[in-house]
Structure 1
């Protein structure tokens, strides 16, 4: 069972993320019982079967966009976004689009090569669960990472979490701010 940071707490995460070997057909993979997150291709080819289970989530590869799941947003239990390398930032946009354009309000997991330095930004883009690669952090390091989420209390820029930039959120004496 993997450890994750979910809604500001360290939890044991019982969602199994099902991956596909290179050259393997995602549509034909065997899906185990229990809480499982399947690749987008598996969901698209078997959506009715998987939706009927109720304990199935979908994950996006870094090159896949959320528009592919638009019609099924309400049918999945959880959505995850893979970060295959720490330098691949496309998942930030996927999360922001899921939260803002597509109105997804369920659990949104960032998994893969997610690093402590990115945790605050990932949360600001709409992720509520951060799942570093297995073995990346020990318990003490994960505790320290959790504490570091509070390092920046008032970001300047607008984000999914703070839709208004700082100058719109802060009232100053003698200055009237128009909405």
Structure 2
């Protein structure tokens, strides 16, 4: 089974390298000797709170500039969002476990753990999905939050109440 998983993952890697996705800055295994642990880097979508974030490292604390305001946070420069991908030995029958490494404030992402609440990463997974398509679904989730199934209740409550300024300032 591991041989089939390796072949599938190597094909996905080759497909990504052959036609890089401009919205996915990186998609690759973290180590050469372990094909089951990957890293992905998403670019934040234009005209969303996740675009154009620049971080400043000041006195061991992380701050960022977001649309002219300085906020304390841990974002990656330029609106890039790092994902950690653990792939089971039963992939693609079972979904990968994907979580944010970059701290992100979003109703469907746990701020503490980076866990993502997205049906395709759980019950709606299909072997037709690839790591690249799963990453693109996560990117789409960033600009289309689902506040009715939150992992971050504070962000979801602001969004449900229509307080977009409060939500974007988190």
Taking structure 1 as the reference length, what is the TM-score of the superposition?
0.25
Structure having the larger proportion of residues in strand: 2
Taking structure 2 as the reference length, what is the TM-score of the superposition?
0.26
